[in-house]
Chains A and B, each alone.
Chain A
Amino acid sequence: MATVETRPARLRRDLPQWLRALVRPVPLGLAAACVFLVVGSLLSNDFAQQTVAGLAQGTIFGSLALALVLIYRATEVINFAQGEMAMATTYVAYQLISWGLSYWEAFFATLVVAFVFGVVVQVVFIRPVQHTSVIAVVIVTVGLFILIDGLVTWKWGADLKFMPAPFGKTVYHVGGVAFAQQDLGTLLVSVLSVLLLWALFRFTKLGLAMRAAALRPASARLVGVRVDRMLAIGWGFAAVLGAVAGLMAEPAQYVLQPSLMQPILLYAFAAAVLGGLESPAGAVVGGIALGVFLNLVGQYVGFVTSELRLPFAFAVLLVVLLVKPAGLFGRARVRRV
């Protein structure tokens, strides 16, 4: 069979192996974006300031987007309740702190609670409908959204609650740019939790089993992987990531209320789609890109006022998807007909 070799493809073939992987539009584009951000930050304090704030915000989008992707890979649906699950676990942390735990004790205890919560949700609500139809699962997640929101309001009320600041209130000034300890902390915790999860999936037997159960359930079952159990554990880890997103989103708003995650979920959807719904790395990159992009657009593109920021972001998203329908990191699905 004769293949038509395009010019860029021919160029790529002549490069050494390690460079070949990089010379593709997406990694090249991202590298260019990074250079742009670094140069811009060096030239302008305002630019640097908006970029740092955007990074901190973007990692929160990214964490929640990653949770969405994990569940999408396992269950093939978008979990509409992901944001509310994260919000509920943040209330758990609030409760633990008000019972006398320190912030970080409560933080880790909450992650454990979130894991159990995610597993229980999968076993009780999702498993019974998982094999009926996608629509059924989607409806269940929408129902969970409303249920969790209602339960939290019933238990804790909808008035403003306040949690102690996890990272201190210090502000570092570096050459006219203020770096809040809190933004840096958010960045660190979010990135660390994503890396830990990646290592778990990549290097452990459990991770391998979970990937197998999500991607090739039938084959996995044949080699002895307990698929149902693995899917439930996958939901547990997604809930843990969501909990991290919630716990990091609370100090960014300084108040805890049941609507905590609703705006963030919207951006997390966008980030997940931008990155490619099946790509964990894509979700994180998508979230960070969205956070930084929104801040810079608000600062420098005059006509994009508060009303237009979200529509503008989605217009850009649409353009990206027109060019790369599977998202930045997604693989186009090829189906034999």
Chain B
Amino acid sequence: MRINGRIGALVAALAVTGVAAGAAAGAHRADPGITKTSIKIGGTFPLTGVASLYKTIPAAEKAYYDYVNAHGGVNGRKIDFEILDDAYDPSKTVPLVQQLVEKDKVFAVVGSLGTAPGLATWGYLNSKKVPQVLLATGDSYWGFCVKKACAGSPKPWTSGWQPDYPGEGKVYGRYIAANMPNAKIGVLYQNDAYGKNYYAGLRVGLGAKKENIVDAESYDVTNPSLTQQILALKSKGADVFVVFATPSPTITALVTAAKVGWSPTTFINNVSANRLFLLAAAANGANVDGVISTTYVASPTTQPDLPGMKLAKQIIDQYAPSLASSFAQGDTNIVYGLGVAWTFVHALQKAGRNPTRASLMKALHSLNTSKNPFVYPGIKLQTSENDNFPIEQEIMIRWSGGARGDWHPFGKLLSGVR
């Protein structure tokens, strides 16, 4: 009996260990948030607050996932996308991301918006080995830190999507140096990392022509108007006006320039080049014809016949009808959201029949496709172990048609934008 009892205890112990080992093996095979039929992801976005005009981005992403789910999901798994509102405030992002990881058990954090919110959470997510992918910000940290130690350690679980800001700044610099070698350049930039990175890129792109910068004025949130800065630029004789700002100051700058009787050749950054903003500026008297910017997504208004834009219209009409009117007016943020969601689905398909967090990252670090229907035709999404910038191509665009006008692409597709 005693022996039997011992054997029984031993068997029981073995059984327990076996179960535990089995469970561990199971956990190893399937990361949190993924089952046979579903995959849970989430992201933080500014649905309210200063940056809330970007709220169409997550709405478009959700519409794309709903479309994919209605067509059978990815390898039979339906994507469940949780959108949380951090109001663009990093102190709110941190607890929300912890909630996503620890309470909601997401497989990955996808598409979260904003540089500061991204930086506030990348340490945490990388230490937990949770993918923080396709961040909606153009800072260069996400691309450079896969192997390089940033803020103390490499960040292999983080990835961006769009071209980076300094690269875009270089595009304008090179264009001005080549086409307007005698220009007198006046710059208005937001007084933070965002504006300064753009400005630094512009100076690199200008090369020796950076001596043509006659004045650079900055502004910050304590400025109740931009009239003083714009008058200063005008008085220095600038005939090229480069604006590195978020949308509402960009609108203010365009209208103010017209108001003080200044009509330079104006460049604005991609972030503020949504057609809706230019229409608003024009309605208030801004002289928008000839304004130059760049894009990397297709336009619903100038390229409505592209297969990607037809698909976009179909998806928006069916799964996010509340976005239909701003899509029809050329809200490129919606196209941006669709493009990001397409990239996530593409990476998930590449990550194998039973994706893990590691295989997702591997897929994102080896992108090589020109099939994304929502980016500008010809743009390729490409990454490698050493290059984590998915999009490095842009096309320049110029506005014509005044208050009812639109952006029109010109020149050839530019490569190596970073």
A residues near B (Cβ < 8 Å) are: 45-46, 49-50, 53-54, 57, 60, 153, 157-160, 162, 165, 169, 171, 173, 178, 180, 182-183, 249, 251-255, 257, 259, 262-264, 266-267, 294-295, 298-299, 305-307, 309-310
For A257, the chain B residues whose CB sits under 8 A away are 50, 248
Minimum Cβ distance to chain B for residue A124 (Å): 26
CB <8 Å contact, A295 and B227: yes
Give the docked Cα–Cα distance between A90 and B55 (Å).
23
CB <8 Å contact, B48 and A153: yes
Minimum Cβ distance to chain A for residue B331 (Å): 11
- B252 CB within 8 Å of chain A: yes
Interface size, B (range) = 35 or more
CB <8 Å contact, A57 and B225: yes
For A295, the chain B residues whose CB sits under 8 A away are 227-228, 231
Complex: chain B residue closest to A53, CB-CB: B227
| Count, A-B residue pairs, CB within 8 A | 113
- B232 CB within 8 Å of chain A: yes
Report which of A57, A178, A306 forms a contact with B220, defined as CB distance below 8 A. Answer: A306
Give the docked Cα–Cα distance between A45 and B217 (Å).
20
For B280, the chain A residues whose CB sits under 8 A away are 160, 162, 254-255
Query: Given known contacts A157-B52, A180-B259, A257-B248, is B228 in contact with A162 (CB within 8 Å)?
Result: no
- B221 CB within 8 Å of chain A: yes
- B150 CB within 8 Å of chain A: no
Complex: chain A residue closest to B88, CB-CB: A158
- B181 CB within 8 Å of chain A: no
Query: Given known contacts A50-B231, A180-B260, A254-B251, is B52 in contact with A158 (CB within 8 Å)?
Result: yes
- B283 CB within 8 Å of chain A: yes
Give the docked Cα–Cα distance between A314 and B232 (Å).
22
- B179 CB within 8 Å of chain A: no
Minimum Cβ distance to chain B for residue A190 (Å): 14
What are 13 pairs between A and B in contact, CB < 8 Å? A49-B234, A53-B227, A53-B231, A53-B260, A160-B248, A160-B251, A165-B285, A169-B284, A171-B261, A253-B248, A255-B248, A295-B231, A307-B220
B residues near A (Cβ < 8 Å) are: 48-50, 52-53, 55, 191, 217-225, 227-229, 231-232, 234-235, 247-248, 251-252, 255, 258-262, 277, 280-281, 283-285
CB <8 Å contact, B258 and A299: no
Report which of A49, A158, A255, A305 forms a contact with B231, defined as CB distance below 8 A. Answer: A49
Minimum Cβ distance to chain A for residue B272 (Å): 11
Complex: chain A residue closest to B191, CB-CB: A306
CB <8 Å contact, A299 and B53: no
For A305, the chain B residues whose CB sits under 8 A away are 218
For B255, the chain A residues whose CB sits under 8 A away are 254
CB <8 Å contact, A178 and B260: yes
CB <8 Å contact, B218 and A306: yes
Complex: chain A residue closest to B284, CB-CB: A254
Give the docked Cα–Cα distance between A305 and B229 (Å).
10
For A60, the chain B residues whose CB sits under 8 A away are 224
Give the docked Cα–Cα distance between A57 and B258 (Å).
17
Minimum Cβ distance to chain A for residue B255 (Å): 5
Report which of B55, B229, B283 forms a contact with A306, defined as CB distance below 8 A. Answer: B229
For A57, the chain B residues whose CB sits under 8 A away are 224-225, 227
For B53, the chain A residues whose CB sits under 8 A away are 159-160
Give the docked Cα–Cα distance between A266 and B224 (Å).
10
Complex: chain A residue closest to B259, CB-CB: A180
CB <8 Å contact, B55 and A159: yes
CB <8 Å contact, B261 and A178: yes
Give the docked Cα–Cα distance between A298 and B233 (Å).
11
Give the docked Cα–Cα distance between A157 and B48 (Å).
7
Complex: chain A residue closest to B218, CB-CB: A306
Give the docked Cα–Cα distance between A254 and B260 (Å).
14
Complex: chain B residue closest to A44, CB-CB: B235
Minimum Cβ distance to chain B for residue A334 (Å): 36
Give the docked Cα–Cα distance between A309 and B226 (Å).
13
CB <8 Å contact, A254 and B281: yes
CB <8 Å contact, B225 and A253: yes
Give the docked Cα–Cα distance between A50 and B219 (Å).
16
For B235, the chain A residues whose CB sits under 8 A away are 45-46, 49, 299
Report which of B225, B259, B277 forms a contact with A178, defined as CB distance below 8 A. Answer: B259
CB <8 Å contact, B258 and A171: yes
For B252, the chain A residues whose CB sits under 8 A away are 253-255
Q: What 4 A-B pairs are tightest by C-beta distance, nearest first?
A: A169-B285, A178-B261, A46-B235, A180-B259
Complex: chain A residue closest to B55, CB-CB: A159
